[in-house]
Structure 1
Amino acid sequence: MKFTERLKAGVLLDNPVFMQTIGLCPALATTTSLSNAIGMGAAATVVLICSNVVISLLRKFIPDKIRIAAFISIIATFVTLIQMLLNAYIPSLAASLGLFLPLIVVNCIILGRAEAYASKNKVLPSALDGVCMGLGFTFALVLMGFFRELLGAGTIAAGIIGDKGIQIPGLVDYPATMMILPAGGFLVMGFILAAIQKIMSGKEGK
């Protein structure tokens, strides 16, 4: 499969959050703002790429009986490194992501790609798989984070473009605060999934 086709599958056709509905815990919990969504997506993508590469390199040396434990140990090593780097250089982001940063270790997407792909393929295809699935995960988080921040705080990219970001007149004065609460995550996810199903059903009808 060509890189463009793999990228299209990872971001759109086989998106881990919207199409496979896995990795929903961080998708719902860390998308209260666009900055958090980008941070979590980037961290998960780096871990996914690095763990895929290492697991692919060691795939012939890891005994089948302990492969899951070995995969988790490899993933945990990269998660710890990412957490230490964020604590050192971007402590505000590390604090915002909180417990969900170390929970990347048991993220279904990362462990699933290690088991389903990296453990069965060579290094370069495994790295590309990590890039594409990571971008798909990040795309899903960014889309949710954009709408939740826009509706729940009336801003766009707060913390990225200055402390207050781009303030939207009207929305910033009367924000729908519920959208940045847990219930808002479920609502935004539901609306996005409904829109995707509507688009897909329309294409099937044609």
Structure 2
Amino acid sequence: MARWQPHASERLVVAALELFEERGYENTTVIQIAERAGLTKSTFFRHFPDKREVLFGGGAVSGLLVEGIDAAPAGAGPLEAVAHALEVIGAEVFTSDRREFGARRSAAIAANPELREREALKGLRVTASMTDALKRRGVPDLAARVAAELGALAWKIAYERWTDAANGDTFGELARRTLAEVRAAGAVC
């Protein structure tokens, strides 16, 4: 693949996932990822700070969640604003053509403690971003934190369900339904 071809970032992600599956995360180098993608090591580092970050997309998802909360209807409550944001990332990121990749990505992360740690840290950043976005909408601090935590939990469960090949629902449908289930479970506790 020629170096001038577009979509370097996506090519690096695909190459990394393939190599993580073939060799394991620990046995894969940045140089190998770049070579598999038909790029250079310096191109890799223009897109990602390290090989751990290659499967995590920087802050793109957090940004979309914040935009989704900001774009929720003015009268939407905190959980409705979070649901709106989850639908936005479903439409923008978790599309049906990415379902198989999502399942493969999840398996690669589950197989490595360092990647699981990065995933957990990403989850904390996402929750903090949603909390801040809700507070900017005028939601009181505690309510914003609770809604963001419930949204993060719903997102995690919906993502697990979405990556199941037997599930044909869109991520947005799953996220909204899961958020309602999480909310109902919280009322029972």
**TM-score range, shorter-chain basis?**
0.3 to 0.5
TM-score with structure 2 setting the length: 0.36
TM-score with structure 1 setting the length: 0.33
